[in-house]
Every structure is written in structure tokens, then in C-alpha cells.
Structure 1
Amino acid sequence: MLSEWLETVPPLLVYVVVGLVVGIESTGVPLPGEVVLVAAALMASHHDGVSPLWVGVAASAGAILGDSAGYALGKRFGSRIFGWAGEKFPRHFSADKVDRAQALFRRHGAWAVFFGRFVALLRILSGPLAATMGMHYGKFLLANAAGGVAWAGGTTAAVYFVGEAAERYLKDFSWIALVVVLLAVVGLSVRGRLRRSRR
């Protein structure tokens, strides 16, 4: 079990593992970044040597650097990267899933990057998608950093303060975030139509 293994290693290694797993996931490789973050934050809630602050910092840094690496890969290889990923990870990168993510990014740009951090599929696709769709890196970095800090800090704080009860509920957190994103998308679409009709 992951949490049991983390308890056997020094705190510094816990932070390194969190940062690496979250970072590699954010480049586009489907790893359980959220599971590792939750396990480390839960460990911090009952282990004196592990600091929730440094767990959050490690996860934030991994998210920001990993997404930036994903952006660089998308810039370098373009849409070919999704064909390759579809062959290697068909469950995560099917043409249908990539098309839906592209449509979301096309309509909502930086907001899709920010909220995408809270949704497993978009967390993996965020960097490469933003690059292939021509989003300026500065705009991407701002949304990526804000989303990474909000996701890592929020998840760590929730698990740390609520403790073991949070472990059960955070399993469904990605679905809750997806519902929030969809509601935000519908709300923005309705608002845009109302503005156009007034004009």
C-alpha cells in the first residue's frame, strides 16, 4: 500500500515522490498524482515529520513544472503527440476524449487550464493541448500556476484538516470538479448569448 510505503521513507523523499509523480502526470503520462498527493497529505495529518506545507509546495511545483514540460512537448510535436499517446494509452487518450478536451480548450482557453487541474483527464492533457491550440505560454503559465497551487494547496489542506474522512470523499472529487466545470461552461455560454441578444 502506498501510504504504508511512504511512512517508511524520510520526509524529504516523501516530498520528492509527490513532486515527481504529480510532475510526470502533468506532462501527459497517466500516473496517479492525486492518489499520491492525498496519501502524503493524510500521512502529514498523523506523522510529525511530514509537513503539509511542504507536501503542498512539492505538489504545486510538480504541477507547474510538469504542465510546462507538457506544453513544450505539445509545441515541439504538435498534434502528433496525441496520436502517439492514443496508441500507448488508449484508455486515456482516445480520439473522442481528446476531441472533447480540445472543444473545451477552444471555447474557454485559460479557464480550461485552471479548472482542468481539478479533472483527471484534463490534468493530463492540459499542457500539450494548450500548446497545440496556440495558447501563448505566458497566459498558459499564469492559469497553470494558479490552478496548480489551488489544486495542490486545496487538496492538501482538505486532507490534512479533515483527516481520514477526506480520503473517502476525495475519491469522487474529480467528478465533483467536472460537474463544477460543466456548470461554469453552461453559465458562461448563457451569459454570452444574453449579451449578444441585447446587442
Structure 2
Amino acid sequence: MLSTLHEGWAIFEPFLKTYGAITLFVMIFLESMGSPVPGETGVIAGSLLAAKGELSIVGVYFAVLFGAILGDSTGYLIGRLGGNRLLRRFGPRIGLTAERLDAVEARFSKGGLWIVVAARFIPLMRQLNGLVAGSLSMPFHRFLMAQGAGAVLWTSVYCLGPYFFAEVFAHIR
């Protein structure tokens, strides 16, 4: 974990110092939309720079929050426009038969709100959250409510945790 943070710091620090919180917005937007971007590491790096006074924690917090909400919503739209057709067409090639997809849809319809909130904290699920919810036709207003709550919780943990406990991470640099 520490080596990952150290490597992430080396990669993201120059971008964060040059472009500020907009870097975090773009990273989290892309990650939340479904791209394999290391958002957690970037958020931690941004929070640590804010703790050093080099970035505004308010700017970092809102860039991450809005990036998460807008990225998830974009992923939802992509999933809604064509995800279910693709899953039904190509799913059997990876073992996702029509019966399994129907079972996933049934589970999602019962506990979808909690799945969306919890997925924000689980790597890979965080990236696929919106795509899956859109593909499974979760009503957008329910998705927006759940992913908004998950985004606020996740942003608070990953932005404010490192910010307030920066001295724990001081030896990484």
C-alpha cells in the first residue's frame, strides 16, 4: 500500500501542482465513467498537498465530489443507451448467460440502492457502477440519489482522512 502511494505521489504531484483540483476532477470523472484511472491515489495525493497548504481542501473536495457524480452519471447514460443489449449479446461468451443476467437484474432491483452506495468503495465496482446501473435500467432518480450519497461518503473519507491525518503519511515523501 505504501509503495503504491509513493508511486502515485510521484506521478500525480507535478500535475496537481500545475493544474490543481481540475486534475482531480478529470481523473475521478474518467474513473467513475468506467476508465481504469487510479483515482484513489490521486485523491490522496491532492489531499496531502492541501494539508501542506499547496491546494485548497475545499477545491479538492468539490472537484472530487463533482467528478464522481458526473462521471457515474455519464457511465449510467452509456450503460442505459446500449449496455443491456451488449451484455445479452456478448455476455454468454464470458459466462454471463441470459439466466444469470436476469438473476443479477433481480438482485439489483431489490438492493440496487445499497449496491450503488457500497460500490463507490470497491475498486473496479467503482469504475463499473454507473455502467451496470444503466445497463440494468435502474431508474435514474434512484441511481442519482444512491450514487450521490456514495460519492459524498467516499469523497469525505478519501479527501478529509488524508487531509486531517497527513502527518501519518509524512514519511512517504
Question: What TM-score range do you get, normalising by the shorter chain?
Answer: 0.7 to 0.9
Amino acid of the residue matched to residue 122 of structure 1? M
Tell me the residue number matched to 2:34. 28
- The equivalences for 1:46-85 within 5 A come to 46=52, 48-80=53-85
Q: Is the Cα contact below 8 Å between 2:47 and 2:57 reproduced in 1?
A: yes
Asked if structure 2 preserves the Cα contact closer than 8 Å seen for 1:102 and 1:129, the reply is: no
> Which residue number corresponds to residue 112 of structure 1?
115
Aligned-pair CA distance for 1:163: 1.0
8 Å Cα contact 1:18/1:40 also seen in 2:
yes
Shift of 1:54: 1.2
5+ long unaligned stretches in structure 1: 87-93, 169-199
**RCO (CA 8 Å, sep 6+): is it higher in 1 or 2?**
2
Structure 2 residue aligned with 1:149, among 134, 148, 152? 152
TM-score (norm. length: structure 1): 0.68
Instruction: Give 1:90-129 correspondences, 5 Å limit.
Output: 105-129=108-132
Which 5+ residue runs of structure 2 have no aligned equivalent?
1-6
Cα distance change of structure 1 residues 35 and 7 upon mapping to structure 2, 3 Å threshold? closer
Residues 52-110 of structure 1: CA distance to partner in whole angstroms, max 9, x if unpaired? Answer: 12111101100000000000000111235569xx9xxxxxxx767x9798676344111
Is contact 1:28–1:125 with CA below 8 Å preserved after alignment?
yes
Q: What is the identity percentage for the equivalent residue pairs of Structure 1 and Structure 2? A: 32
1:146 CA displacement: 1.2
State the distance in 1 between where 2:76 and 2:119 align: 14
TM-score (norm 2): 0.77
| TM-align CA RMSD | 3.1
Name the counterpart of 2:140: 137
The equivalent position to 1:45 in structure 2, one of 21, 38, 51, is 51
Check whether the contact 1:159–1:167 (CA below 8 A) recurs between aligned residues: no
* Residue aligned with 1:29, SS: coil
CA deviations 1:121-141 (Å, max 9, x no partner) are 210111011112121001100
